[in-house]
Amino acid sequence: MEKVKDIVIKAENLGKKYIIGHRAENGRYVALRDVLMQNARTLWNKTKDLAKGKPIIQGDTLEEVWALKDASFEIHRGETVGIIGRNGAGKSTLLKVLSRITEPSSGRVTIKGRVASLLEVGTGFHPELTGRENIYLNGAVLGMTRAEIKRKFDEIVAFSEVEQYLDTPVKRYSSGMYVRLAFAVAAHLEPEILVVDEVLAVGDTEFQKKCLGKMGEVAHEGRTVLFVSHNMLSLQNLCYRGFLLESGHILMDGGILSVIGKYLDFGRQQTGEVAWSSPDKSPGDERVRLKAVRIVSEGRVTGTVDIDKEFHIEVEYWNLEPDRCLVNFMHIFNSMGICVLTSANFPSASLAPDPWYSKRYPRGVFRTTCTIPGFLLNDGLYKIMLFIDRLVASDVISFEVYDTGVMRKEYTGPWIGTVRPRLDWQTTQLS
């Protein structure tokens, strides 16, 4: 009976539904009469929705999407819970519901205690107010008195390292400064529940370590921490319990190591290719959308590549807005969520010039290929994050580097590190 009193978050069949609009683009010629009639219908539908108090949805057809579905769980005071899942799995939606930023569409959630959340750069900050004013504003939102905030003020400023800009409107802050101050406020104003999303990735490595240490302190003080991250090492070091989300459902709730293992196994199910049949269903926006991403080795699509063989990462995409220059960028992460390399089609970063770099793209389908040499990555599972112009696609595909044994004639033990290149070694006699 005593344990029930320690429950600080209780979710029962929690769900969040969004209505999204799709614009019909079938490539056929559309007469002016059809355009005018479609616009008139759209205006009439928007007017009806506005009169009924419904949100205005852009598009010719509407679709229901459940970002979160039938989520039930209990979190006790003092628990540190890591929330894991691919992009679009529902992690951020869950945190927004728990932070009372958005209302659930179904089910209910009971929360006991003050919640401080850091979900995206600038959450809870007023851009026109100074850093100093925002500290007091955030404290007031959390229900703290001015005296309580003042007692913590110097500690917040020291942690954030933005003292020089404290009386500057935060709209002039860089994203890194924003996150420093926002995290310092969220962590120091004594919330019972601290909710942190992947936003910490904006800060530098030293600041990320500092934040993880502070979250650990918060947990040791008996407060609750919910943490979303793609960095498995950070989750492993901070959390004892984890949720694995996929398509809005909680697939697994258990010890963090077991959940990480399940997540990594889930990534191994990749076949080496993901593809979308039409632009309206694929990641992107009105300018550019992904068509396919695949791993190709020795002329075939595969999710597993030999450690000694080169392979190619092929990215196909629809360019929907003509006369624009596009830049292709890529991060490769290991199984613990650590970025092991970054590459781009810049002339200075490519072995041979990309013929389309700096050219203006017409409308159409394009393929950009990046070649990864053999004897570079160590064996293990890797995930790719892609950037095309302002399109960002995380965890869009994974692949596994297989140890063929070609580098194990003299040594059969584990090779430590994320890269395992063949390097030039020479010994000479000096005397």
pLDDT score, position 2: 43
Is residue 411 in some structural domain? no
- Centre a 10 Å sphere on the Cβ of residue 313 and count the other Cβ atoms it contains: 20
Query: Whole domain around residue 32: which residue ranges?
Result: 8-65
Is residue 424 in some structural domain? no
**Are 55 and 123 in a shared domain?**
no
pLDDT score, position 339: 87
Total domains in the fold of the chain: 3
Report mean pLDDT in 10-residue bins for the chain, 431 residues: 68 86 51 61 63 57 79 92 86 89 90 82 78 87 82 89 89 83 83 82 72 85 88 86 91 90 72 88 89 94 93 95 91 87 93 92 95 94 89 85 88 85 92 89
pLDDT score, position 140: 83
**Are 210 and 260 in a shared domain?**
yes
**Are 50 and 89 in a shared domain?**
no
**Are 226 and 137 in a shared domain?**
yes
pLDDT score, position 27: 45
CATH of the domain at 292: 2.70.50.60
pTM: predicted TM-score of the whole model, two decimal places: 0.65
* Antiparallel, parallel or unpaired: β 339-344 and 304-306: unpaired
pLDDT score, position 312: 97
**Are 51 and 156 in a shared domain?**
no
**Are 398 and 367 in a shared domain?**
yes
Is residue 184 in some structural domain? yes
Question: What's the angle, vertex CA 412, arms to CA 406 and CA 415, rounded to 5?
Answer: 85
Residues 327, 389: contact at Cβ < 8 Å?
A: yes
Residue that terminates a domain, selected from 267, 288, 305: 267
CATH of the domain at 238: 3.40.50.300
Is residue 431 in some structural domain? no
pLDDT score, position 326: 92
Is residue 430 in some structural domain? no
Is residue 310 in some structural domain? yes
Two structure tokens written together for 378 = 């160590």
How far from 270 is each of 121, 242, 279, CA to CA, in Å? 32, 23, 22
Is residue 81 in some structural domain? yes
**Are 194 and 136 in a shared domain?**
yes
Is residue 412 in some structural domain? no
The upper half-sphere exposure of residue 406, i.e. CA atoms within 13 Å in the direction of its Cβ, equals 14
Residues 211, 193: contact at Cβ < 8 Å?
A: no
pLDDT score, position 3: 45
